[in-house]
Chain A
């Protein structure tokens, strides 16, 4: 058991935690420790579909996503990564299957275009040109943004982690936080199964476990964790450029640069606890939806299924920043399934918040106090 002192302890070794640590170190903070209970990206980051899109329905989410995707475009160089984050910008083709969706998409696209996002509304036939194996008769139209894409979540996290380590950040893997000490309303230190870390700053980037970390300091974060399932197929020659997605039909399906297809769907009946088991129902429903819209994929073999936790917030937008009850406790949670794609912007804005710097993107409206005030802006575009 080793006891140490740190300027900041970040709980969670996913993309958020690693990006926050990297940005803090880059801005000059010394003695930063990331505490991760298993290995890096063992939680939601490593379990996600790893698609990244700018096509959102709220201004805030559009801005956060745009910033992050623009970062991913140059991340290999910026983070001086020795491998490759495998970023592929094949776009997102989001199909409209109902009149309601057609109207929503036209509104979304107007908003997105006003923020510099090059999305456009396209006809079923135009959609078929982009994804030739789709059944265009099943859709009314689609939204398409060529800048959206996909990248490897393991490498993206590792790229941040390695860059952070070079700047002196310590990463404690296979180390579990067992308690957080608060004295006179201030963070005092973090207890782990590998020793005690005295620190004035704790960042809760624990993904699906953020509510448990909140409880350790007596802060109730209005989130719950929900299982989401996913499957991956064998790798085949490149045939699908963009992510194929539908909110109303409940599917996202992407061919990775490696050649495998990754697809997932939500289910309102999924357990809302910390279970990450797999179910047969998911496979059957997933395969049905996939084959309905992308019929030739029926001959693809799935090789594995798994699941991970969405950390759902009431308005499906992240919860960023300080809490009023405990000085030195910062939140980076409640991503509602989109924490991976917001990773780069999370790293920047949380580091700026902690260091009391002028924010790159003003995120004060994403503070936890918005739920008390009732200032919610519901994100309509979530699978």
Chain B
């Protein structure tokens, strides 16, 4: 799959994501390098010796999670932009992701931007905590993003557009904005069912296909609950809107 899509698969990632216990101890590098090529600057840049010496320069790097302290020097040194540092202990509900970013303009510290997944799809809102762009980075700036913790292994790039701003329409059927959802959550409507009933989000023709995951993300962010623990509303028939005339069996539609 990697060869045809350029996107690492779950199996690929399982080989490089550190165990839970290590992630719980603080920052650590994640080297998402799966292609055998003659390249070893990660090894030479790591002063702690956490990246093991290459037997063959074509090998993929091997990281000793216990030696790595997540300093992030290797990030800018990787020509393939394949190295990230993730700190899952950053805050109560957030993780910090350090990623290489070679586009201009660079974001500013404090900006809210959109975290993208490995396929470039918007994943969540993220706050820019730090932008490192000194000589040490050698024109491969490193951006530190705070993201909801469940996105620590999802976000690997960013868009400067703040898709998750207050003005973003969350529910296209009923034209409800993210700002309105945030307001409901602040007022104590903290389950998808409660928000659906007060705002109509999810009652339109799409039956919540777009808004439900976005609302869950927002509830998770505001309350610190994991998305996996949130209850979804009941999905009801029909899947697609049907004309009443069709229900009687009397008419065909396109």
Contact = CB atoms under 8 A, between A and B. Distances in A.
A354 B194 CA distance: 30
A301 B205 contact: yes
A-B residue pairs, 6 tightest by C-beta: A298-B245, A301-B241, A287-B247, A154-B197, A287-B244, A303-B241
Given A234-B205, A303-B204, A38 B247 contact: no
Nearest to A46: B197
Given A154-B197, A258-B200, A300-B243, A288 B207 contact: no
B32 interface: no
B38 interface: no
A39 B197 contact: yes
A196 interface: no
**Most-contacted residue by chain B among A41, A232, A286, A302 (CB, 10 A):** A302
A85 B200 CA distance: 13
Interface string B190-203: 01011001101001
Contacts of B251: 298
Nearest to B206: A303
A158 interface: yes
A290 B244 CA distance: 8
Interface in A273-306: 278, 283-284, 286-288, 290-291, 297-306
A234 B241 contact: yes
Given A278-B236, A284-B249, A287-B244, A303 B205 contact: yes
Given A39-B197, A40-B194, A284-B248, 7 more contacts: A284-B249, A290-B244, A291-B248, A301-B205, A301-B243, A304-B236, A305-B237
B242 interface: yes
B6 interface: no
Contacts of A298: 243-245, 248, 250-251
Given A39-B193, A154-B197, A234-B205, A278 B237 contact: yes
A327 to B, nearest CB: 35
A37 interface: no
B249 to A, nearest CB: 7
Contacts of B193: 38-39, 42
Nearest to A280: B237
A305 to B, nearest CB: 6
Contact of A305 (B198, B236, B248): B236
A39 B194 contact: yes
Interface string A316-348: 000000000000000000000000000000000
Interface of A: 38-42, 46, 83, 154-155, 158, 174, 232-235, 258, 278, 283-284, 286-288, 290-291, 297-306
A138 to B, nearest CB: 16
B236 A301 contact: no
A234 B242 CA distance: 10
8 contacts: A40-B194, A41-B197, A155-B198, A158-B198, A284-B247, A291-B244, A297-B244, A299-B243
Contacts of A305: 236-238
The A contact surface, by secondary structure, is mixed
Contacts of A46: 197
Contacts of B244: 233, 287, 290-291, 297-302
Contacts of B204: 234-235, 303
Nearest to A300: B244
A249 B248 CA distance: 17
Contacts of A301: 205, 241-244
A277 to B, nearest CB: 10
A13 B238 CA distance: 28
Contacts of B234: 306
A46 B247 CA distance: 25
**Most-contacted residue by chain B among A41, A291, A305 (CB, 10 A):** A291
B81 to A, nearest CB: 45
Contacts of B248: 284, 287-288, 291, 298
A155 to B, nearest CB: 7
Contact of B198 (A42, A83, A234, A299): A83
Interface string B224-254: 0000000000101110011111011111000
Interface string B129-154: 00000000000000000000000000
B130 to A, nearest CB: 40
Contacts of B249: 284
B230 to A, nearest CB: 12
Contact of A306 (B200, B236, B245, B247): B236
Contacts of A306: 234, 236
A290 B197 CA distance: 26
Contacts of B237: 278, 304-305
A42 B198 CA distance: 12
Contacts of A158: 197-198
Contacts of A290: 244
A42 B244 CA distance: 27
Contacts of B207: 303-304
Contacts of A233: 241, 244
Contacts of A235: 204
Contacts of B241: 233-234, 301-303
